[in-house]
Structure 1
């Protein structure tokens, strides 16, 4: 489906995004770490007759040149995005790290959301346990792992970028993250992950420095990525839990978060972590139920 490139002003810079158009309830789509706005193209294709849809590239991702200097900016930006769009009470949909982004922005009162849809992006631990888990993304060893797995921060010329993107497309059917994705969608997402630089090269986004920055929140911060964040949210929350996703083994913990307040729902689906790309129709149907026709 077609989408218009867009830019949205945020504190200290501009985020790039995709405006999918549509009509009905306003829905903001927020990708996870390492992805970008293009991952939502197939989901949006199932929703444009029912919803008004925008997706953004978070700081340090896709075509958003501005990066993070603090661990909270990427989710605080969502308040600026909704304000720039002049939206009232949108539905916020977040996948993976984007799931925490929409959660934190709502908990902090930056967005008055009509509902949240959190797709394999829950936070389930207390602050001490969460801080230990976050520590794995700090230091040079973590950066090297990410560079080896995803080429984060790699600078390439046009031909090198093209060759790498096509390699990702060829390997997508056996890749742990992309298996089941439409090949052209993999191509578009990977191409959008390279930001053109002034020297003629392209940089694979995000960089390992970006990941390290957002992975080092202050455990004393009011809105820390720990399970207590849900205590500050009053709107309905739908948690989408794929049976082969990152949180599949913690189904009972997710169930406890759901049971802790009314207007929360757990929807279990068959699939892996990359739900927006591998299960777009199923995810779109869930979002449609959260976004009554205007």
Structure 2
């Protein structure tokens, strides 16, 4: 445990990865956090080495409450990237975790509920599933030799991959290797599977918490949104600003980066997290 000597209180931070990644994606960010906070990252359901898969669309973000409870953490700072950004927002909006603050890293939801419900239906179409298999190899089963070859290929191509340019090849190797779990027949499965993606993108349209812009209305704790210049939401910056301006205690930080901020800009992201830690300490004095 790391204690804050200035005010005599601990500050805990939970780091939540996005779809297709796993807890290893946070390794370089965590290395920069030093003694500023006690940070923990974990594999979401259906990802990395997690043994659990999703049976409902909400389990993966509701698990944040179990993580905090099992660690004995009260009022942690929740930091989420991509889908993890929605996860920390949903858990806060649902009231199952009471964080000191949340940080959403290129993981906002901006559509109204009706539009989001319509758009999410796309993921149940066969062509969407096939696209996920072709682009990301979700659900790919392969022998050990081919799996290791693919891991090394990803590491070699880090600098020429626009999505991951700037990430350390060794970090890429660790993340991709953790994406594969061994099967009883000796093969390896690339996680998440398409079935996992389909499950988590199909919440009940009548659910109190839904991946649409209204998820931010109940959130009262301080919220930082990190908007990369070449990220998924760069062209919708005005809508992101509207979310920030809709409530006090919110701020927008724009950085020069692509979507994969934790792996490509770890030092900058760590600085943002450390600043958030310091602000929450100041708030409780």
1:271 aligns with 2:250: no
Aligned pairs for 1:65-84 (under 5 A) are 65-84=51-70
Aligned pairs for 1:278-293 (under 5 A) are 278-292=264-278
More helix by proportion, 1 or 2?
A: 2
* 2:186 matched residue in structure 1: 200
* 1:143 matched residue in structure 2: 129
Q: Number of aligned pairs?
A: 274
| Between 108-117 and 139-148, the greater mean CA deviation after superposition | 139-148
* 2:149 matched residue in structure 1: 163
Q: Residues 239 and 267 of structure 1 are in contact (CA less than 8 Å); yes or no, is this contact kept in structure 2?
A: yes
1:223 aligns with 2:209: yes
Q: Residues 194 and 204 of structure 1 are in contact (CA less than 8 Å); yes or no, is this contact kept in structure 2?
A: yes
* 1:214 matched residue in structure 2: 200
The runs of 5 or more residues in structure 2 that have no matched partner are 4-9
* 1:3 matched residue in structure 2: none
Cα drift, residue 66 of structure 1? 1.0
> CA 1:22–1:196 in 2, change beyond 3 Å: closer, same or farther?
farther
Q: Residues 22 and 47 of structure 1 are in contact (CA less than 8 Å); yes or no, is this contact kept in structure 2?
A: no
- Alpha-carbon displacement from aligned partner over 1:115-138 (angstroms, at most 9, x marks no partner): 000000001111011112212222
Q: Residues 22 and 48 of structure 1 are in contact (CA less than 8 Å); yes or no, is this contact kept in structure 2?
A: no
Cα drift, residue 238 of structure 1? 0.1
* 2:111 matched residue in structure 1: 125
What do you get for the CA RMSD once the two structures are aligned?
A: 1.3
TM-score, normalised via structure 2 length: 0.93
State the distance in 1 between where 2:72 and 2:190 align. 32
- Alpha-carbon displacement from aligned partner over 1:230-259 (angstroms, at most 9, x marks no partner): 111110000000010000011110111111
State the distance in 2 between where 1:22 and 1:210 align. 36
Q: Residues 59 and 68 of structure 1 are in contact (CA less than 8 Å); yes or no, is this contact kept in structure 2?
A: yes
* 1:93 matched residue in structure 2: 79
| Between 146-155 and 112-121, the greater mean CA deviation after superposition | 146-155
More strand by proportion, 1 or 2?
A: 1
Q: Which runs of 4+ in 1 moved over 4 A?
A: 21-24
